[in-house]
Amino acid sequence: MEEEAKKSNWVSRLKDGLKESSHKLTQGISAIFTRKKLDDETLLALEDLLISSDLGVETAQKLTTLLRKNRFNDDITKEEIHSFLAQEITRILKPVAKSLQISKTHKPWVILVVGVNGSGKTTTIGKLGRLFQTRGLKVRLAAGDTFRAAAIEQLVMWGDRSGIPVEVAPQGSDPASLAYEAYAKARQAQDDILLIDTAGRLHNKQDLMAELAKIRRVLQKVDPSAPHECLLVLDATIGQNAHAQVEIFQKTAQITGLVMTKLDGTAKGGVLIALAEKFNLPVYAIGIGEGVDDLRDFEAKSFAESLMGVSD
Contact residues for Mg ion, defined by CB under 5 A: 121-122, 145, 151
How near is the Cβ of 143 to ligand GDP at its closest, in Å?
10
Q: Report how far apart, in Å, the C-alpha atoms of 218 and of each of 169, 211, 214 are.
A: 16, 11, 6
Cβ(276)–Cβ(246) below 8 Å:
no
Q: What single string gives the DSSP state of each residue in 168-236?
A: ---TTS-HHHHHHHHHHHHHHTT-SEEEE---S--SSHHHHHHHHHHHHHHHHHH-TT-SSEEEEEEEG
Cβ(72)–Cβ(84) below 8 Å:
no
How near is the Cβ of 130 to Mg ion at its closest, in Å?
16
Q: Report how far apart, in Å, the C-alpha atoms of 178 and of each of 101, 170, 175, 214 are.
A: 25, 10, 5, 11
Q: Which of 108, 200, 227, 282 binds ligand GDP (CB under 6 A)?
A: 200
Q: Which of 287, 302, 307, 309 binds ligand GDP (CB under 6 A)?
A: 287
| Cβ closest to ligand GDP, residue 15 vs residue 121 | 121
Piece of the chain touching ligand GDP by CB under 6 A; list 8-16, 63-71, 79-87, 256-264:
256-264
| Cβ closest to Mg ion, residue 59 vs residue 146 | 146
Helices (H), 33-77: 40-52, 57-71
Q: Which of 24, 121, 130, 301 binds ligand GDP (CB under 6 A)?
A: 121
Cα separation, 79 vs 26, in Å, equals 9
| Cβ closest to Mg ion, residue 12 vs residue 173 | 173
Q: Report how far apart, in Å, the C-alpha atoms of 59 and of each of 66, 123, 273, 275 are.
A: 11, 30, 8, 10
| Cβ closest to Mg ion, residue 53 vs residue 123 | 123
Piece of the chain touching ligand GDP by CB under 6 A; list 4-12, 20-28, 119-127, 130-138:
119-127
How near is the Cβ of 125 to Mg ion at its closest, in Å?
8
Q: Which of 118, 177, 181, 252 binds ligand GDP (CB under 6 A)?
A: 118
Residue 261 touching ligand GDP (CB under 6 A): yes
301 interacts with, out of Mg ion, ligand GDP, none, CB within 5 to 8 A per kind: none
Question: Phi/psi of residue 47, each to 5°?
Answer: -60, -45
Q: Report how far apart, in Å, the C-alpha atoms of 41 and of each of 33, 66, 140 are.
A: 10, 16, 56
Q: Which of 52, 61, 87, 117 binds ligand GDP (CB under 6 A)?
A: 117
| Residues making contact with ligand GDP (CB under 6 A) | 115, 117-123, 154, 200, 233, 261-262, 264, 287-290, 294
